[in-house]
Amino acid sequence: MAWPTQAAMERIDREREAVLAFLQSLIRLQPSGETAIQAALADRLAATGARVQSLQYEPAAVPLIDEFAAGANAASGTRASIVGTYRAATSGGRSVILFAHPDGEPIGDTATWQRPPFEGVINDGRLYGWGVADDLAGVSAAVSAMEMIKAAGIELAGDVIVASTPSKRHARGVAAVLHHGYAADAAIYLHPAESGVGMNEIKAFASGQLEFTVTVPGKKPDTTEPGHTAFAHAGVNALDKAVILIAALKALDAHRARRVHHPLLDAAIGRSSNILLSSLQYGQNRAFSRMPTELIFGGAISFPPFEKLADVQAEVAVALDAAIDADPFLRHNRPVLHWVSGVTGMEVPESHDLYRAVAHSVEQVCGFKPHVNPMHTSSDIRNPVVQRGIPTVGLGPYCGDLTQTGRHDEWVDVEDYIRAVKVTAASVIAWCGTC
């Protein structure tokens, strides 16, 4: 390793316990809420010489490009992104944004936890805590990497922006930072992935995704009788009409599987787009003899980065409209397609300077060559790319049992977390350059 990178690595090794203690301190703040965690991060950034701003914003007011969240899916209430800026000692280097999110799942029942959720205990090489992998490990790794660079006396030639940005439930924290005027030549998203390989992978690809519902009408039989079974032939069952529309979406799914291809997705799972129908609201509990007049089904569609959000929406709408127009009842009682949320995909090719700098840093620190995992649909790596054209990759340590997926005893691997801090520091040095 070159001197600056070697010096940073040695510093991290000497300060290993302090690096872990910082992550543990954030876990202990979880019961106090996001505001307390953000305040601790702001103090830590300021202590190492960063110019810190607490950027207040309303998620629903953040302008978005090729992304939306309708109605209740959009977060409400004022939030804050913490932004720490380290100015370069000289000009000529490249700048970078390190970002991660401090907000985790709302704290609920912890009775299933076998270890204390708010202490950051270490057991058998794993550090446990509520939200440690989603995403306290990310925000702490960003801050610790810059602390160690500064402590090693390394002068960077490019600016570094560390941003702790709320993300869950469409909080739009990083988009708020970008649209507030913060920008850089590249960005690195620090977040563990529950893919089981930790630092062996780099997130450099994210499919787009659309979520939708379809409200399908029906018609009760013309009778005053409370039971409809004997009159069922005289009504229009919304379930029967929904089957027609679901068949149209299934046909579209098959057509897209034949037509839409991306080499990374095809190699990983054998196809590059999917339509998943996952939700159904129909009838009343145990009202077996009454014909419902409405059915709502919902689902999601994934699509590769080269497809535009509006184009995929139009393709779904055309398929449904064709099925509607072919049915006399639906033609005069049109179902309603409602788009719930949508995000555009992104890709940074392995030939890009950013990918090569980060991949080389992984090889230096970990001793192995990382690969791209193309299966991170809707990953936040898309935000800087789509919103501001800033190339972005992501990485994070080995983790598991995320609270977000209904598990308990969420954890990150201790050694891989230390490697993540080292790789972050090495990537910053490689990308920004030194004086």
Distance CA 118, CA 276 (A): 36
381-398 average pLDDT score: 96
- Residue 65's Cα: distance from chain center in Å? 16
What percentage of the chain exceeds 70 in pLDDT?
Answer: 99
pTM of the model as a whole = 0.91
Q: How many CB atoms are located within 10 Å of the residue 226 CB? A: 8
Highest mean pLDDT of the ranges 69-73, 74-78, 309-313: 309-313
For residue 1, name the pLDDT band (cuts at 50, 70, 90): confident
What fold, for 3-206+346-432?
Aminopeptidase (3.40.630)
Strands 122-123 and 186-190: unpaired
* Residues 6+ away with beta carbon under 8 Å from 320: 214, 245, 248, 249, 335, 337
Mean pLDDT, the chain, integer: 95
Strands 160-164 and 96-100: parallel
For residue 72, name the pLDDT band (cuts at 50, 70, 90): low
Distance CA 412, CA 192 (A): 8
Residue with tokens 């950013």: 354
220-244 average pLDDT score: 95
Distances (CA, A) of 176 to 73, 182, 195, 255, 304: 17, 9, 29, 38, 25
Angle at 98 between CA 301 and CA 19, to 5 degrees: 115
The reported pLDDT for the residue numbered 120 is 98
221-240 average pLDDT score: 94
Distance CA 388, CA 185 (A): 10
The reported pLDDT for the residue numbered 71 is 61
166-173 average pLDDT score: 91
Q: How many CB atoms are located within 10 Å of the residue 71 CB? A: 8
The reported pLDDT for the residue numbered 91 is 79
Distance CA 187, CA 392 (A): 5
Side-chain-side CA neighbours of residue 291 (13 Å): 23
Contact between residue 246 and residue 253 where contact means Cβ atoms under 8 Å apart: no
The reported pLDDT for the residue numbered 75 is 65
Distance CA 244, CA 331 (A): 12
Instruction: Spell out the domain ranges in the chain.
Output: 3-206+346-432, 208-343
Contact between residue 46 and residue 183 where contact means Cβ atoms under 8 Å apart: no
Hey, what CATH class is 208-343 in?
Answer: alpha beta
Distance CA 140, CA 127 (A): 13
Alpha helices in 215-308 (DSSP H): 238-259, 263-269
* 341 has pLDDT over 90: yes
Which pair of structure tokens corresponds to residue 153?
């006396």
Residue with tokens 């201790």: 414
Which pair of structure tokens corresponds to residue 51?
């110019």
The reported pLDDT for the residue numbered 73 is 59
First to last CA, the chain: 17
Categorise residue 265: left if φ over 0, alpha if ψ from -120 to 50, beta otherwise. Answer: alpha
The reported pLDDT for the residue numbered 285 is 87
Q: Which own/partner contact pairs does 353-360 have at CB distance under 8 Å and 24+ positions apart?
A: 353/431, 354/186, 354/391, 354/392, 354/393, 354/431, 355/202, 355/204, 355/393, 357/427, 357/430, 357/431, 358/188, 358/202, 358/393, 358/395, 358/423, 358/427, 358/430, 358/431, 359/202, 360/430
Sheet containing strand 399-400, strands side by side: 122-123, 126-128, 411-413, 399-400
Distances (CA, A) of 65 to 310, 384, 400: 11, 11, 32
The reported pLDDT for the residue numbered 17 is 98
